[in-house]
Homo-oligomer: A and B are copies of this chain.
């Protein structure tokens, strides 16, 4: 046996060792310092990679195998604890590089605020960008207790940045009254409670457009994703979420990047949420990366 054959636990299963020849780049954003309730998602990327060794490399849903896609796992971006602004700047810079190299960025959070600099970066490359957002929470606050950098604000920020009419939220079951009002008044799409059926109606409208998909794991019911900071009853099943990923894969939109955020291993005692996240990422890779 040679040393290089030794299994290296830190990369997502079947990652391609070579950045240059990869089509996609997986990267972690281990930040959780602005969360208002239960922290811990900083350890999400590491645990999701760790449990990915339990994944089958073939998708019985898409009839594809991981080896059909080349993706590089760049590890976690080292972020300064407790400094939100600097962390966001580092993330944006990192994703700029991925996009400059022509790769598909697939980010793993961390708290949802990390999606804000990613989407900004993607928008620089795709001015016609639309956002698909799956989440339990509207994340449309301007600030949280006076703090504009909060995990309850990223969708508001990107909506104001690219225009609320380009942002489509699904599965939302929690938020302030003002958030829902703001969405309504500004022409932003919100589907409350459900994901799959409303998504089927929206996808045709986005045909041909570049779309970034941001997925907060808490769109799932706590039964399916207990390992997250803010559990909220009444969510969708993992079956519906898988079907939604496949619906996007079959559609005519062009996914140009995506993320999965808010897995918090410490609340995930049987590692069920991390395992589910790693399966979702497999389906995203197999269903979306080839869409470029």
Contacts and interface: CB of A to CB of B under 8 A. Distances in A.
Given A10-B8, A58-B177, A177-B58, A270 B271 contact: no
Which of A7, A45, A53, A54 counts the most B-chain CB atoms under 10 A from its CB?
A7
Which of A75, A271, A272 counts the most B-chain CB atoms under 10 A from its CB?
A272
B46 A50 contact: yes
A233 interface: yes
B58 A7 contact: no
Interface in A160-179: 172-177
Majority secondary structure of chain A interface residues (helix, strand, loop or mixed)? loop
Contacts of A43: 38
A84 B143 CA distance: 16
Interface of A: 1, 3, 5-11, 19, 27-28, 30, 32-40, 42-43, 45-46, 49-50, 53-54, 56-58, 60-61, 63, 65, 74-78, 80-84, 90, 93-94, 97, 137, 144-147, 149-150, 172-177, 180, 192-193, 221-224, 226-227, 230-235, 237-239, 242, 266-272, 275-276, 279-280
Given A34-B82, A38-B43, A39-B42, 20 more contacts: A3-B74, A6-B76, A8-B76, A33-B34, A37-B54, A40-B40, A60-B172, A60-B192, A80-B146, A81-B150, A193-B239, A221-B223, A221-B224, A221-B239, A226-B272, A233-B275, A233-B279, A234-B239, A266-B267, A267-B271
